[in-house]
Amino acid sequence: MPRILMTGASGGIGTSLRKLLPPIYPDLVLSDIKTPADLAPHEKFKAAELSDLAQVEAICEGVDGILHFGGYSVEGSWETILPSNIIGCYNLFEAARRKGVKRVVFASSNHAVGFYPRYHRIGTDVTPRPDGYYGVSKAFGEATGALYADKHGLKVTCLRIGNFGDKPLDHRRLSIWLKPEDMVQLCRIGLEHPDIHFEILYGASNNERSWWDNHRAYELGYRPAGRAEDFVAHAMAEQAKLKPDPVADFYQGGAFCSMGFSGDKSRIVE
Ligand code: 15L
Q: Give 56-76 pLDDT, tens digit per residue.
A: 999 999 999 999 999 999 999
Cα 31 to middle of ligand 1, angstroms: 21
State how far the alpha carbon of 53 is from the alpha carbons of 89, 118, 268, in Å: 10, 39, 43
Q: Write 207-210 long-range contacts (CB < 8 A, 24+).
A: 207/168, 207/174, 207/175, 207/176, 207/177, 209/174, 209/175, 210/175, 210/176
Pocket test for ligand 1, best of 73, 171, 178 (most atoms within 8 A of CB): 73
What per-residue confidence (pLDDT) applies to 149?
99
Hey, what CATH topology would domain 4-267 get?
Rossmann fold (3.40.50)
| pLDDT for position 269 | 86
**Domain ranges within the chain, ordered by starting residue:** 4-267
The length of the chain in residues reads 270
CA-angle at 249, arms to 248 and 251, nearest 5°: 70
Residue 139: which of 158, 117, 120 has the closest Cα? 158
Rounded distance from Cα 212 to ligand 1 centre (Å): 16
pTM above 0.95, yes or no: yes
Residue among 107, 113, 143 nearest 130 (CA): 113
Nearest residue (by CA) to ligand 1, atom 11, is: 163
Spell out, as residue ranges, where the chain has pLDDT lower than 70: 270
| Ligand 1 center from residue 42 Cα (angstroms) | 30
Ligand 1 pocket test target in 109, 110, 249, 256 with most atoms within 8 Å of CB: 109
How far is the C-alpha of 206 from the C-alpha of 204, rounded, in Å? Answer: 7
Q: Is ligand 1 within 6 A of the CB of residue 74?
A: yes
CA of 104 to the centre of ligand 1 (A): 21
Per-residue model confidence (pLDDT) at position 226: 98
Indicate which residue's Cα is closest to atom 9 of ligand 1. 163
Report the Cα–Cα distance between both ends of the chain, in Å, rounded. Answer: 54
Residue 129: its pLDDT value, please? 98
Active-site residues, by number, are 134
